[in-house]
Amino acid sequence: MLKIKDLTVNVGTKEILKGLNLEVNAGEIHAIMGPNGAGKSTLSHVLSGKSGYEVTGGSITYNGKNLLEMPAEIRAREGVFLAFQYPVEIAGVTNVYLLKAALNAVRKHKGLSEVDAMDFLTLVKAKTKALEMDEKFLYRAVNEGFSGGEKKRNEILQMAMLEPQLCILDETDSGLDIDALRIVADGVNALRAENRSFIMVTHYQRLLDYIKPDFVHVLADGKIVKSGGAELALELEEKGYGWLEQA
Amino acid sequence: MSISWLDDIRTQAKNQFEKTGFPASNLEDWRYTNVSAIAKKEFSVAKFVEDVDFDAVESGSAFHFVFVDGYFREELSNLPESITICSINDALKNHANLLQSKFNQAIQQSHGFIDFNTANFTDGLFVHIPKNTILEKPLQIIHIATQAAILPTRHVVILEANAKAELIEMFVSPEKYAYLTNSVSEIFVGENADLTLYKVQQEGENAYHFGGTYVQQADNARFTHHNFALGSLLARSDIVSDLETAAECELNGLYLGSKNQHLDNLTRINHLQPNGISREFYKGILNDQAKGVFQGRIVVAENAQKIDSQMNNRNLLLSNEAEIDTKPQLEIYADDVKCAHGVTVGQLDEKSIFYLQSRGIDEETAKHILTFAFANEMVDRVTFEPLKVQLAALLAVRYPMD
Ligand SMILES: Nc1ncnc2c1ncn2[C@@H]1O[C@H](COP(=O)(O)OP(=O)(O)OP(=O)(O)O)[C@@H](O)[C@H]1O
Ligand SMILES: [Mg+2]
């Protein structure tokens, strides 16, 4: 599904990603861990098409296509979804409006008709309920005045509505209380499917107790420096990252 | 018809206008707006025309008072019966004393457009709402322009104590050619009375517009204004209010300029007595080579203690060639007051655009969604639902979102 080869990325003149390799197949869950400033969000942003990053080398192939050539909105319509580490507040645009506009954009791209207004409401209410969110959130401006945890939950609501193929979760677990973490994890698990893959950036083993990854990678200084199975996360929890750099 | 008290006022105004003409840009209040193009057009005052080729206005939710080229058209109107309402020419005959006692009383400082109006108005609206009377539906005052001429109208609106009303001024034209609307309103909001006034300026694309609204608020009177400046080539709007004790004034505004439009908004809130409250919020969006002007001044007189006043002006500049001159001013002579003002001028937020794109929405639509949202904040303040719907639809045409 996704193949990242020797990816190098600059911000300004500073090299942030320094030859990153990663392959994600359909149905897999990959966890990416690593110290602050290693480049995890940079990778997430580059995958989703955010401007301000200069790809100086390497390639990203998504479903056989060159992902780097696609504008951000096309990536989204093709099924790439980023749950932001810091979701943006958008005054004056309600959640329900965004959800409908986004869903219709994706449907149109797939050659489907616009979603029926009643069907949409039924769907969005069901998803809201599944994430134990108050329906009132639908009619509030996107993320405006939401608490940190509410914002993260709202990202998962959008993800659940759009049913993407490649879900990138950038520290979705940070800022969630214990109950919210379980609810969000249930939401993610409910989305698991044969043709859907996940990249989860996290600092904590706790999330991985709920969503068991197939692979765990350590991203340090712009590269994947170690990969392993779910047990690698436990090892990292115990030892930190220092031993990797020495190795 | 000749009425001596009015003749005197008109002659004086005529002489003054002959001396000074339309305001020159060396005057402080006119430094951002050059109106010399209007004088060069050599318009004459509009003539009455019998035939009107204009769709009848949808009635039902509001009363209507219709002007065509500055002349009241009773046959197109639909008037309330609970209040006194007639053309200013009728009022000169039938309500002469009341009219004389109010005429020119709300205007503290005149200028060329007002002088011209006083000297030349063809017609106007006279409204008198008696004590304790609530106008049951909003009154829509519709100005339709169909001639390449000057359309001067003069209006006097009086709300007695505890009266309540909603008025909507609309300026429209089916035509593309140049004309000058010149509309001057004097408004008297009595003790504890409550007036909401909407202005929707949708003049033709080559039109010039001057609209001046001069308000006197008695003790505890409430005045709420919503100013939507959408049309015309060059428009200037004056909103001036004088507040007595514990009066409340709320001024909202939205100016949307594109192409080479020039939209100038001047407001003055004069707190003359203590305990008044004023809230002012103007927003502007300027595209292409459009130019916006916001000149807001709040004056708190020496004995006007305990004033609570806020003024805000926020602007979106959506092109490199668009321009805004914004000048909020607080002039405070009292010492125990709570006054604040703020201005912002900016572009659309890149992070927000990207956020929407990351959800599958293309960049142009994302920008329209954010621009619509910025403008719609002012439309949301409209409490008369049919007008709110109409304005939101206008925004959606400007900033298409699908
Ligand atoms: N616009 C920018 N200008 C300058 N430096 C930047 C910019 N964006 C990112 N960086 C730098 O790139 C490095 C990687 O940042 P990134 O946000 O990808 O880290 P991260 O691995 O997600 O860290 P964290 O775990 O703290 O979220 C950091 O040193 C950061 O300061
Ligand atoms: Mg990060």
pLDDT band for A246, please (50, 70, 90 cuts). Answer: low
Cα–Cα distance measured from residue B170 to residue B168, given in angstroms and rounded to the nearest whole number: 6
Does residue B266 share a domain with residue B129?
Answer: yes
In the prediction, which pLDDT does A78 show? 97
Q: Quick check: B254 pLDDT over 50?
A: yes
Among all bound ligands, the one having the nearest atom to the CA of A37 is: 1
Structural contact between residues A166 and A199, judged by C-beta atoms closer than 8 angstroms:
yes
Mean pLDDT calculated for residue range B321-343: 96
Average pLDDT estimate for A220-236: 93
What confidence tier does B42 reach under pLDDT thresholds 50, 70, 90? confident
**What pLDDT, on the 0 to 100 scale, is given for residue B365?**
97
Cβ neighbours of residue B164 under 8 Å, at least 6 residues apart? Answer: B129, B133, B134, B135, B193, B194, B195
Quick one: B81 and B131 in the same domain? yes
Mean pLDDT across the stretch B366-381? 97
Same structural domain for residues B29 and B85? yes
Cα separation, B16 vs B119, in Å, equals: 9
One domain, residues B51 and B130: yes
Task: Please give the sequence-ordered ranges of beta strands (E in DSSP) within B190-276, or none if there are none.
Answer: 194-202, 208-217, 222-229, 234-243, 248-257, 262-271
Tell how far the Cα of A41 is from the centroid of ligand 1, in angstroms: 7
Q: What is the C-alpha to C-alpha distance for residues B48 and B210, in angstroms, rounded to an integer? A: 20
Disruptive mutation site among A46, A53, A75, A88 for chain B (greatest number of B CBs within 10 Å): A88
Work out whether strand B84-87 and strand B139-144 pair parallel, antiparallel, or are unpaired: unpaired
Mean pLDDT across the stretch B88-93?
96
> Rounded to an integer, what distance in angstroms lies between the CA atom of residue B94 and that of residue B99?
9
- Please answer whether residues B134 and B164 qualify as being in contact, where contact means their C-beta atoms are separated by less than 8 angstroms: yes
**What's the mean pLDDT in A99-108?**
96
Task: Determine the pLDDT at residue A9.
Answer: 98
Q: What is the pLDDT of residue B330?
A: 96
> CA nearest B88: which of B147, B192, B6?
B6
Residue A104 DSSP label:
H
**Among B359, B368, B380, the residue to mutate for chain A (most A Cβ within 10 A):** B359
For residue B265, give its domain range. 4-350
* Residue A157 phi, psi (nearest 5): -60, -45
Quick check: B362 and A50 CB within 8 A?
no
- In this prediction, residue A237 has a pLDDT band, given cuts at 50, 70 and 90, of confident
Distance A36 CA to ligand 1 centre (A): 8
Closest CA relative to residue B173, chosen from B211, B139, B140, B147: B147
* pLDDT value, residue B2: 63
How far apart CA A158 and CA A96 sit, in angstroms, is 10
Q: Which two tokens stand for residue A7?
A: 């990816």
pLDDT tens digits, B172-216:
998 889 999 999 999 999 999 999 999 999 999 999 999 999 999
Please give the pLDDT value at position B117: 98
Is pLDDT of A247 > 60?
no
Q: Quick check: B59 pLDDT over 80?
A: no
* DSSP letter, residue A139: G
Average pLDDT over residues A144-158: 94
Question: Mutate which of B281, B283, B356, B399 to disrupt the A interface (most A C-beta within 10 Å)?
Answer: B356
pLDDT at A186 over 80: yes
In contact, B180 and B208? CB cutoff 8 Å: yes
pLDDT of B230 > 70? The answer is yes
Decide if A72 and B377 are in contact by the 8 Å CB cutoff: no
Based on the domain organization, do B277 and B387 belong to the same domain? no
Which tens digit of pLDDT belongs to each residue from B113-134?
Answer: 999 999 999 999 999 999 999 9
**Tokens of residue B287, six digits:** 């595209």
Distance from CA of A106 to the nearest CA of B (A): 6
In this prediction, residues B45-54 reach a mean pLDDT of: 78
Q: Check residue A213 and give its pLDDT.
A: 96
Are B227 and B237 in contact, with CB atoms under 8 Å apart?
yes
Residues B167, B58, single domain; the answer is yes
Q: How does residue A147 score in pLDDT terms, banded at 50, 70 and 90?
A: very high
Residue B376: name the closest of B388, B364, B360 by CA. Answer: B388
Distance from C-alpha of A174 to C-alpha of B304, rounded to nearest angstrom: 52
pTM higher than the cut 0.90: yes
Considering the domain architecture, whether residues B374 and B288 belong to the same structural domain is answered as no
- Give the mean pLDDT of B157-181: 95
The helix or strand, by DSSP H or E, that contains position A96, with its residue range, turns out to be helix A95-109
pLDDT value at residue A68 = 97
Same domain, B297 and B368: no
Over residues A72-96, the pLDDT tens digits come to 999 999 999 999 999 999 999 999 9
The CATH homologous superfamily for domain A2-246 is P-loop containing nucleotide triphosphate hydrolases (3.40.50.300)
**Which chain B residue shows the shortest CA-CA distance from A97?**
B369
What are residue A98's phi and psi, to 5 degrees? -60, -45
Q: What is the DSSP letter of B196?
A: E
The pLDDT of residue B55 is above 80: no
- How far does the centroid of ligand 1 lie from the alpha carbon of residue B54, in Å? 61
Q: CB-based contact (8 Å) between A101 and chain B?
A: yes
Judgement on whether residues B346 and B381 belong to the same structural domain of the protein? no
pLDDT of residue B54: 57
Predicted confidence at residue A59, as pLDDT, reads 97
Predicted local confidence at residue A245, as pLDDT: 67
A17, A42, A168, best to mutate for ligand 1 pocket (most atoms within 8 Å of CB): A42
A164 at interface of B, judged by CB pairs closer than 8 A: no
What is the number of structural domains in chain B? 2
- Pocket flag, ligand 1, residue A16 (CB < 6 Å): yes
Q: How many CB atoms lie within 10 A of CB A23?
A: 13
- Select from B355, B360, B376 the Cβ nearest to the Cβ of A90: B355
Sort out which chain B residues have CB atoms less than 8 A from A75's CB and list them. 358
Task: Sort out which chain A residues have CB atoms less than 8 A from B400's CB and list them.
Answer: none
Mean pLDDT along residues B96-115: 97
The model's confidence at residue B56, banded by pLDDT at 50, 70 and 90, is: very low
Residue A158's nearest CA partner among B296, B46, B360 is B360
Distance CA B239, CA B265 (A): 8
Q: Of B329, B350, B371, which closes a domain?
A: B350
Strand partners, A172: none
What does DSSP say about strands B234-243 and B262-271: parallel, antiparallel, or unpaired? parallel
Bridge partners of residue B200, in order along the sequence: B170, B228
Q: Is the pLDDT of residue B149 over 60?
A: yes
User: How remote is the CA of residue A242 from the centroid of ligand 2, in Å?
Assistant: 19
Axis-axis angle for helices A117-130, A178-191 (nearest 10): 130
Q: Answer yes or no: are the C-beta atoms of B159 and B188 closer than 8 Å.
A: yes
> What average pLDDT does range A161-171 have in this prediction?
97
Rg (CA), chain B: 21
Same domain, B67 and B158: yes
Average pLDDT, chain A: 94
ipTM value: 0.96
pLDDT band for B53, please (50, 70, 90 cuts). low
- What is the average pLDDT across B7-24? 96
Mean pLDDT of B376-397: 95
List pLDDT tens digits, range A152-165: 999 999 999 999 99
According to the model, what pLDDT value does residue B57 have?
52
